[in-house]
Structure 1
Amino acid sequence: MAAAREIKAREVVEPGDDDAVELAKRHLVQPWPYAGSVGAEARALIGEGEGIYITDASGKRLIDGPAGMWCINVGHRREELARVMYDQAMALSYNTPWYTMNAPSAELARRIADAAPGDLSHTFFTTGGSSAVETALRFMQFYNNVRGRPEKKLILSRGGAYHGSTYLSASLNGRPRDRHWMDGADELVIKLSSPDPFRRPKEMSIDAFTDFLVDQFRDTVARVGAGRIGAFVGEPVQASGGVVVPPDGYLKRIREICRENDILYVSDEVVTGFGRLGHVFASGEVFGLDPDMITFAKGVTSGYFPLGGVIISERLLEELRRSNHPDALFGHGLTYTSHPIGCAVALKNLDLLEEGVLQHAREIARYFQARLKTLEELPLVGEVRGAGLMACVECVADRESKDPLQLDKDVGKRIDAHCHELGLLVRPLINMCVMSPPLIISREQIDDMVAILREGISRTMDDLRKEGVWRG
């Protein structure tokens, strides 16, 4: 019986099989493709993972610098999580959330409420980060409709933001290249400046920059009218925007303006939640915030199963229950809402985090940031910034002007290619390299990672000099 359940390696397409590459080119549409290669490309095959490492199709072992996509927090090949997946699938693989429920989702909702700041007490589970943000925004719309404020629907977002790929969540994104060829609900979204201290005007102090951001927010509310603005959505640290860490106190001041004007504050912790900054949630523990909603995904299952969610303030739910429209229907749900396997995996993942991984992440974060900061010795590097176990190396052609290397927009990909040869996978973002390794990384592994990244940047500098696109 046990043998019948066992899946043999040769029963699946293995990395390195030429068939997999050809099948991808003929049948697989990759995410974020260019029109010239859509549906006709194959990307780097990854075959195995263990701890902080992955193995590519050639058998090369690589440090998983991005932790998949900010999500493999407890590391690859954790047998505890695999066993929970199997056990839960054998007990209950699925139930419809429309008129039934399961025990893992109820227990996970309680555990999340215990870890969340303020009065955040109820969770709506989704399939990932995009659907979590979409749910928060649809809840805001429903909330204001029930309260008789159908005009209070505008959403404040920021330059550099990334909030998802579904229609409404993607409309909040603040990176121009994300929207050049894509439509969005632009009539619902107001974009504010990115809170990026590195890109502030040269003569402006950090304190003055913070005041500028807060004044811009307050002036926008006054100009547009608080009665028309339903929510502000912000990442505590802008992740895909280049690990932008906001100035001290900025987020708390924005929160106060939101509270004063009855604007829902949605803290997007899809990346920062579940350990990336050393805590289950960073909003309260790191930034002193008590949002009206927190969205999460990625690290909640360490990427082992698609799951996300939005945690909602008890105050908002009480207001709805007290409304004059008890029959108003929040017509929103997903086939895989509160999926029993995902919730079971998340419970075990939360156990692993609370039994030592979070503590380790907090203890090693300072060493991680300090070692990466040494890369600022290289003339191509304009700034190394980060928080917890997430960091960005931003390359510039000229430190004085902070020119983001417009002559070579693929400098991040160049560095990644060299690092791949040397045993490290990084996440390239135009002129930036993002690092967010599994939270279980050791000091010795951090040293290896930084040494490879240093060599990869050095080789890229040599390439750019030889090609005459950078004098350094």
Structure 2
Amino acid sequence: MAAARDLKAKETAGADVDAVELAKRHLVQPWPFAGSVGTEARALIGEGEGIYITDASGKRLIDGPAGMWCINVGHRREELAKVMYDQAMALSYNTPWYTMNAPSAELAMRIAGHAPGDLSHVFFTTGGSSAVETALRFMQFYNNVRGRPEKKLILSRGGAYHGSTYLSASLNGRPRDRHWMDGADELVVKLSSPDPFRRPQGMSIEAFTDFLVDQFRDTVARIGADRIGAFVGEPVQASGGVVVPPDGYLKRIREICRYNGILYISDEVVTGFGRLGHVFASGEMFGIDPDMITFAKGVTSGYFPLGGVIISERILQELRRSNHPDALFGHGLTYTSHPIGCAVALKNLDILEESVLAHTREVAPYFQAQLKTLEELPLVGEVRGIGLMGCVECVADRESKDPLKLDKDVGKRLDVHCHELGLLVRPLINMCVMSPPLIISREQIDDMVAILREGISRTMEVLRKEGVWGG
């Protein structure tokens, strides 16, 4: 025991022990493989500034994924750091069970002011997974109070990503996320991904949209609206490869939900707080007014863990009018309405409203146009995106659009080459996803796309030499 304590003291001393070795000995990384769990070290990042991060070797990189879709106003914003300090010195924490704090009340009001329709009340969580989990549990509570205990099934879609808690992860539509994991499969019904690139060969976009809507309507009819509690959908499927749905699709799905009394939950964990140039994309970009919106990530630009659910006034009124006034929504988190997180979010919202939202709307078309030039490269099947989020999807050939004939780690190969050239991207099997900080300039977009072009070109050359691809 004494030897173990001595070793731990030495390790925690910091200066004489390498962080990579500490990670290999003690840190369990997210999404590990069984063969390396608990022994893995990943790229060590030392610092960030603006749209850039610096790795352990001192190399400066464009932060292509903005952390994880979240560093919206950029790294090292002194005003956000100051707010964290000031709020911690004033009130670092209060229990949300029987007290409250002023920043959470003000933030709820301001968020409600940006939300579409009658979304007027906010429940704060610790992040995106807990936000989606909260929305689903609220749906269950709502239907229980209204005397509809059988109305609990949840509609989700292929390609979806909604979180890592038990219920939220059960909605995920990427097969590799679920191969070795359990889930509440009895509660979830999966529909097709609204991915136009993967529509059946020869089918028009209009016909594909009709197919998706008909499938949704037929599923409701087959199962029964009296058994379906909610549909959960990202306006843009982010981790599914930046899948932008066909025009009008979301509005038509919203109408089916409204007609059948199915709660529409719009998962804006990624698209919220500026990623598409607005605080929320549901109303401004897609013309829908959901019953609930979940958010996280960009609400604090990643400076503090915070998420939440915005809930329709109609739903709350129905609960208040029910004949079960003593029914308890038995759900809460230790860090619900955390005063530091809410204070940071208020300042972050100030920064977004002052200039960043307008800047995003101004540079987004340029970002999309420059990325689109990468389709000139034969390895690239499609470049797609909206706002300041984009995806390069690589395929073996453009006719079959088959990614499986390629090396399954082509996205990681691209990431390695881009890292060497000064850009961090997010690899997703045969895809690379970009969502840079919203403060990115046109010149920096040019740098980013030039590195991507060279990284893809180097990857093509290696694949040809290895005989994996003959494009």
Partner-residue secondary structure (3-state), 1:311 = strand
- 1:310 Cα deviation (Å)? 0.2
- 1:375 Cα deviation (Å)? 0.1
Partner-residue secondary structure (3-state), 1:259 = helix
> Aligned in 2, Cα 1:24/1:214: closer, same or farther, shift over 3 Å?
same
- 1:144 Cα deviation (Å)? 0.1
TM-superposition CA deviations, 1:37-62 (whole Å, max 9, x none): 00000000000000000000000000
Equivalence for 1:458: 457
Partner-residue secondary structure (3-state), 1:8 = helix
CA distance in 1, matches of 2:9, 2:406: 46
> Aligned in 2, Cα 1:76/1:12: closer, same or farther, shift over 3 Å?
farther
CA distance in 1, matches of 2:146, 2:2: 57
Q: Is the 8 A contact 2:278 2:357 kept in 1?
A: yes
- 1:407 Cα deviation (Å)? 3.7
> Aligned in 2, Cα 1:32/1:287: closer, same or farther, shift over 3 Å?
same
Partner-residue secondary structure (3-state), 2:129 = helix
Q: Percent identity?
A: 91
> Aligned in 2, Cα 1:447/1:106: closer, same or farther, shift over 3 Å?
same
Partner-residue secondary structure (3-state), 1:143 = helix
Q: Is the 8 A contact 1:130 1:166 kept in 2?
A: yes
TM-superposition CA deviations, 1:178-200 (whole Å, max 9, x none): 00000000000000000000000
Q: Is the 8 A contact 1:163 1:268 kept in 2?
A: yes
- 1:406 Cα deviation (Å)? 3.6
Partner-residue secondary structure (3-state), 2:54 = strand
Q: Is the 8 A contact 2:11 2:17 kept in 1?
A: no
CA distance in 2, matches of 1:470, 1:195: 28
- 1:19 Cα deviation (Å)? 1.6
Equivalence for 2:216: 217
CA distance in 1, matches of 2:297, 2:6: 28
Equivalence for 1:63: 62
> Aligned in 2, Cα 1:120/1:6: closer, same or farther, shift over 3 Å?
farther
Aligned CA-pair RMSD: 4.1
> Aligned in 2, Cα 1:423/1:9: closer, same or farther, shift over 3 Å?
farther
> Aligned in 2, Cα 1:138/1:63: closer, same or farther, shift over 3 Å?
same
Q: Is the 8 A contact 1:395 1:405 kept in 2?
A: no
TM-superposition CA deviations, 1:81-109 (whole Å, max 9, x none): 00000000000000000000000000000
CA distance in 2, matches of 1:129, 1:11: 33
- 1:405 Cα deviation (Å)? 3.7
CA distance in 2, matches of 1:352, 1:406: 46
TM-superposition CA deviations, 1:223-271 (whole Å, max 9, x none): 0000000000000000000000000000000000000000000000000
- 1:5 Cα deviation (Å)? 28
Q: Is the 8 A contact 2:11 2:22 kept in 1?
A: no
CA distance in 2, matches of 1:57, 1:406: 35
> Aligned in 2, Cα 1:36/1:5: closer, same or farther, shift over 3 Å?
closer
TM-superposition CA deviations, 1:329-366 (whole Å, max 9, x none): 00000000000000000000000000000000000000
Equivalence for 1:49: 48
Equivalence for 2:32: 33
CA distance in 1, matches of 2:261, 2:83: 42
CA distance in 2, matches of 1:160, 1:443: 31
- 1:2 Cα deviation (Å)? 37
Q: Is the 8 A contact 1:29 1:39 kept in 2?
A: yes
TM-superposition CA deviations, 1:138-171 (whole Å, max 9, x none): 0000000000000000000000000000000000
CA distance in 1, matches of 2:339, 2:405: 48
CA distance in 2, matches of 1:32, 1:38: 9
Q: Is the 8 A contact 1:127 1:307 kept in 2?
A: yes
Stretches of structure 1 lacking an aligned partner (at least 5 in a row): none
Q: Is the 8 A contact 2:20 2:41 kept in 1?
A: yes
Equivalence for 2:3: 3
> Aligned in 2, Cα 1:76/1:276: closer, same or farther, shift over 3 Å?
same
| TM-score (ref. length: structure 2) | 0.97
CA distance in 1, matches of 2:306, 2:135: 15
Q: Is the 8 A contact 2:292 2:309 kept in 1?
A: yes
CA distance in 2, matches of 1:326, 1:26: 52
Q: Which moved more, 1:435-444 or 1:18-27?
A: 18-27
- 1:10 Cα deviation (Å)? 15
> Aligned in 2, Cα 1:435/1:361: closer, same or farther, shift over 3 Å?
same
> Aligned in 2, Cα 1:390/1:417: closer, same or farther, shift over 3 Å?
same
| TM-score (ref. length: structure 1) | 0.97
TM-superposition CA deviations, 1:116-157 (whole Å, max 9, x none): 000000000000000000000000000000000000000000
Q: Is the 8 A contact 1:274 1:280 kept in 2?
A: yes
Partner-residue secondary structure (3-state), 1:125 = strand
CA distance in 1, matches of 2:169, 2:271: 19
> Aligned in 2, Cα 1:12/1:373: closer, same or farther, shift over 3 Å?
farther
Q: Is the 8 A contact 1:147 1:323 kept in 2?
A: yes
May I ask how many residue pairs the two structures share in their alignment? Answer: 470
